[in-house]
Amino acid sequence: MNQAQLIEALGALVGPQHVLHSPEDLYLYGYDASLDRGAPQAVALPGSAEEAAAVMRLAHGENLPVTPRGAGTNLSGGSVAAAGGIVLALSRLNRILEIDLPNRCALVEPGVFNLTLQKAVAPHGYLFAPDPASQKVSTLGGNVGENSGGPHCLKYGVTLNHVLGMELVLPDGETVFVGGKAPDRPGYDLTGLLVGSEGTLGIATKILVRLTPQPEGVRTLLALFDDLGSAGRTVSAVIAAGIIPATLEMMDHTVIQAVERATHAGLPLDVAALLIAEVDGLQDELDEQAAQITAICQQQGAREVKAAHSQAERDALWAGRRGAFGALGQLAPSYLVLDGTVPRTRLPEALERVAEVGRRYGLAIGDVFHAGDGNLHPLILFDPQEPGILEKVRAAGAEILHACADLGGTITGEHGIGLEKIEAMPLIFSPADLEAMWAVKRALDPAGVANPGKVLPPRPPQQEVAA
Amino acid sequence: MNPADGNLAQVRQAAPGVAWLEAPADLAAYAVDGLTPRLAARPHTPRQAAEALAAAAGAGWAVVPWGGGTHMAVGQPRRRLDLALDLRSLHGISEHDRDNLTVTVQAGCTLAALQGALRAARQWLPLEAPDPSRATVGGVLAANTSGPRRLRYGTARDLVLGLEVALPNGELIHPGGKTVKNVAGYDLSRLFIGAWGTLGVLTAATFRLVPLALRSSTVWASFAHPDEAFAFAQALCGSRLGLAAVEVISAPLAGLPPTAGAALWVATLWEGSEAAVRRALREAPTLAQGALALGELTGPAHDALWTALARNGLGQGGPGSPLLRVGAPPSRLAEAWRLLECASFRQVRGGSGLLYAVWPAAEAMPLAAWRAELAQWGGYLALERGPLPLRRAEWVWGPADAAARPMRALKQALDPRGCLNPGLLGEDL
């Protein structure tokens, strides 16, 4: 099937006006929020789950790669059409189909923005717990594909813990519903397998998510530290004291500089690190918990601990955190963000290793991250105009992932493997682990059309023969 | 000549390091579904477990993994049984990282032994099982057992960070890790949880832990009518009070007083800080509209009640009484309760959407009619436990649906010769 035939066939399925193929469109849909690029043959924007399944069936019949795409905020190249073929853009599937308060769940289409769902359920006193920093622009389909996290995972868990089921288009175009409002359905947990599979095992066309009652109250604390290690040790000390805060976020000196320049929130520019801690729950218990955390910060040598006294103060704190990636534009034209994760007790060592890599490569690295989960976000700052810089940045990134793996952690906590981290997979998985993943991939996608080239490193040729 | 005789030597030879058992008296202890294995193995290392499994799989044998034996007479009866793989010698706690709130434990450790070790650090694994002093970690995960506190803490799928699994090809794989957030590669650990040992044999698991609650108390209420009892349960689930569990039962279990005219007892569990529990104890009773009696339990009576509720109906009927598990949207639990009106004991996990029902041994069950009714609400019915002839005659898990096709493909991929608990999950699984 040549490109003209493909465009006609897709037009027959989703309507010609919903098939994009001009060079400009293909360029726009050729990249995401990572440093990777791809060259799709066509972009199809189905208007229903049935149309999405029809595109998948066509692709399966023609042996064409399909790359699902939400808002293109993917940070690891997962929504880049690495092998060409069709980009299946799910942005028109953007309806909230049902908000079921008695069962504390909602049925949504994959193109709904995370924040749109939050706003729809907030008036009823509920929230959807996963709230990645990109929530304004990232879609729930993307959140499911990546098993997104966000700042509240410490207490509330990741996307997986809040997905009850989904309507799934399998790589051969067949549709099944897995999971549901009734828990623990007999059989294998396909929902659990599919969450975080980055569109390589199937595509969710409806998602049943759990809703959580909003907490009655919140206390937000800001602690300033004169050295990074003390901030890191504070995280472990809080958890060890038996407190599970809703969130524990950290920013280092570099990021504080950028955020202050961008937001003028009044952050002191001479501190080494700041920690945002938030506890939520019943009003009756929050003051005591906040006092406990304050005491721990002081024991670990905090220069100052401030409490946000109003919603406005709290919002200002969070605006700095949520806008931190954007603020880094103040310091450098581009950055590579990593999200290696370590057991939280190894956090101080991990921070030292990151700083050491930065020094050795002569690269500025900022760190703004989910400290309570041990989930680092080192941001390697660079100017893409500088010759040879990309190779240097990638090499430094690979060393940081190596360090995370060495410390008993993992190479990605929430951004996914995509294209970007495939080469790092053997750092944490044995050949047998990867072979088992390949077995699962082949079982559900024997033709290899679902987002090929992502997540799993290519199998060595001799294994292909042996299998 | 018995064609198995040659195989026996072949299997033993393929894994010479494994301690094999073949005395009839030893093997009788591993009989299940009316089948007695030809050989049993009690590996002392995960590697030995993988070797024994591969040796059996290589000979085309059927393998049944064994833990504490609390959930063996379960499922569609196995079609064949040649090797019993007893994991109980793998019972060590490999690492308890206190400040990281994680533990890595071998599959044969009993849940009670694990909890005992964690309690010393004022932590626990918020997973419950009907018989924790016998149930092993591996068995609890394979069966995806849960208890009342799942409402607050989730189930095994939410608590497992990583697994070690022996596959029929002899490999030991390590899906997941020991960090709370981890999205590297496929999350294969979810696949093995609740798979009843049909995809691989669990040899170890890493869990997320929680601090022990500073205070834990019960508020109970008794009711004459299901509507009022379930309205109470639903009101609490939607409140911000921080409910840890709510169970509705048809008889006053351990510590709950009988009330004249009552047909349902609602037990609610409050755990957390002193201030939060105090507030809940004050406010929860005000939501119990129409209660005949109300009360609080603390201390040993409180503990005994929640231990009894974690049994999920086990032991409530006489010998041979089938135990049913119904899954339904939480808002439909009152209807599910009425659907199983004639059960001899009913227990509902409010908020979660589960109902356990014990059925009188001698009475027929209209399973197909119940299933048809439940399917209309998105529910299902599984025969959780039952005597062999019943499990042979009935669909234990219910009729297969469209999701069975990808499940079969996964089974074929990980256990291509169908050697693990063949038939337990139904045709081809």
User: Which of B127, B183, B370 is best to mutate for the A interface (most A CBs within 10 A)?
Assistant: B183
Per-residue pLDDT at A462: 53
Q: What is the DSSP string of B174-226?
A: --B-SSS---SS--HHHHHTTSTTSS-EEEEEEEE-EEPPSEEEEEEEEESSH
Per-residue pLDDT at A312: 87
| Cβ atoms B325, B381 nearer than 8 A | yes
Flag the least confident range among A116-125, A455-464, B165-174.
Answer: A455-464
Is A408's pLDDT higher than 50? yes
Is A443's pLDDT higher than 70? yes
Which residue in the set A192, A437, A443 is minimally distant from B185, CB to CB? A437
Per-residue pLDDT at A236: 87
β-strands A86-89, A42-44: how paired? parallel
- Cα B51–chain centre separation: 27
Is A82's pLDDT higher than 80? yes
| Cβ atoms A222, A303 nearer than 8 A | no
The distance of B413 to chain A (nearest Cα, Å) reads 6
pLDDT average, residue stretch B145-164: 97
Per-residue pLDDT at A461: 59
pLDDT digits (tens, 9 = 90+) for A254-270: 999 999 888 887 888 99
Confidence of residue B1 (pLDDT cuts 50, 70, 90): very low
Sign of CA dihedral A318, A322, A326, A330: positive
Residues of A in contact with B210 (CB under 8 A): 244
Per-residue pLDDT at B3: 46
pLDDT average, residue stretch A416-442: 96
Sign of CA dihedral A380, A384, A388, A391: positive
pTM of the model: 0.96
User: Residue A4: which H helix or E strand, with range?
Assistant: helix A3-14
Q: Could B182 and A410 be called an inter-chain contact, meaning their C-beta atoms sit closer than 8 Å?
A: yes
Residues of B in contact with A342 (CB under 8 A): 179
Separation CA B197–CA A270 (nearest Å): 57
Per-residue pLDDT at A324: 84
Is B6's pLDDT higher than 70? no
Enter the DSSP assignment of B44.
S
Is A282's pLDDT higher than 90? yes
Q: Which of A334, B117, B120, B143 is nearest to B128 (CA)?
A: B143
pLDDT average, residue stretch A325-351: 91
Which residue in the set B172, B185, B272 is minimally distant from A432, CB to CB? B172
Residue A208 pairs with which residues in a beta bridge? Answer: A107, A165
**Token pair belonging to B409:** 């493909």
Residues of A in contact with B240 (CB under 8 A): 125, 213-216, 282
Separation CA B86–CA B140 (nearest Å): 15
Flag the least confident range among B173-177, B284-288, B318-322.
Answer: B318-322
| Cβ atoms B347, B355 nearer than 8 A | yes
Is A467's pLDDT higher than 70? no
pLDDT average, residue stretch A314-339: 86
Per-residue pLDDT at B7: 83
Which residue in the set A146, A373, A444 is minimally distant from B409, CB to CB? A444
Per-residue pLDDT at B2: 43
Q: Alpha helix locations (H) across A42-134?
A: 49-62, 114-121
Separation CA B44–CA A41 (nearest Å): 55
Separation CA B166–CA A81 (nearest Å): 35
pLDDT average, residue stretch B112-120: 98
The distance of B364 to chain A (nearest Cα, Å) reads 23
Which residue in the set B211, B240, B406 is minimally distant from A190, CB to CB? B406
The distance of A229 to chain B (nearest Cα, Å) reads 16
Separation CA B323–CA A332 (nearest Å): 64
Residues of B in contact with A345 (CB under 8 A): 97, 99-100
The distance of B92 to chain A (nearest Cα, Å) reads 20
Separation CA B312–CA B326 (nearest Å): 12
Residues in chain A, how many?
467
**Residue carrying structure tokens 């390949």:** A438
Confidence of residue A459 (pLDDT cuts 50, 70, 90): confident
Sign of CA dihedral A298, A304, A309, A313: negative
pLDDT digits (tens, 9 = 90+) for B390-412: 999 999 999 988 999 999 999 99
Is A161's pLDDT higher than 50? yes
Enter the DSSP assignment of B285.
G
| Cβ atoms B191, A440 nearer than 8 A | yes
Is A463's pLDDT higher than 70? no
Is A466's pLDDT higher than 80? no
Largest CA distance in chain B: 74
Helix (H, G, I), strand (E, B) or coil at A371: helix
Separation CA A387–CA A396 (nearest Å): 16
> What is the arrangement of strands in the sheet containing B380-385, beginning at the earlier edge strand?
B293-297, B215-223, B264-272, B243-249, B345-349, B354-358, B323-327, B380-385
Residues of B in contact with A420 (CB under 8 A): none
Q: Could B158 and A161 be called an inter-chain contact, meaning their C-beta atoms sit closer than 8 Å?
A: yes
| Cβ atoms A373, A413 nearer than 8 A | yes
Is A366's pLDDT higher than 80? yes
Separation CA B423–CA A423 (nearest Å): 39
**Residue carrying structure tokens 């006193």:** A125
Enter the DSSP assignment of A457.
P
Q: Could B171 and A432 be called an inter-chain contact, meaning their C-beta atoms sit closer than 8 Å?
A: yes
Helix (H, G, I), strand (E, B) or coil at B89: coil
Class of residue B2 by CB neighbours under 10 A (exposed 0-12, middle 13-18, buried 19+):
exposed
Separation CA B55–CA B71 (nearest Å): 25
Per-residue pLDDT at A465: 44
Separation CA A195–CA A174 (nearest Å): 18
Separation CA B287–CA B234 (nearest Å): 10
Is A374's pLDDT higher than 70? yes
**Region class of B426: left (phi > 0), else alpha (psi between -120 and 50), else beta:** left
Helices then strands (H, E): number in chain A?
A: 17, 18
pLDDT digits (tens, 9 = 90+) for A163-217: 999 999 999 999 999 999 999 999 999 999 999 999 999 999 999 999 999 999 9
Average of per-residue pLDDT values in chain A: 94
**Token pair belonging to B142:** 């394979």
Enter the DSSP assignment of A275.
E
**Token pair belonging to A210:** 């759990």
Q: Could A282 and B241 be called an inter-chain contact, meaning their C-beta atoms sit closer than 8 Å?
A: yes
Which residue in the set B185, B193, B398 is minimally distant from A189, CB to CB? B193
Separation CA A298–CA B378 (nearest Å): 53
Confidence of residue B387 (pLDDT cuts 50, 70, 90): very high
**Token pair belonging to B108:** 């044969």
> What is the arrangement of strands in the sheet containing A364-370, beginning at the earlier edge strand?
A304-307, A217-225, A273-281, A247-252, A364-370, A378-382, A334-337
The CA-atom distances, in angstroms, between B310 and each of B148, B245, B253 are: 6, 11, 11
Please give the ipTM for the structure prediction: 0.96
Residue A465 identity: V
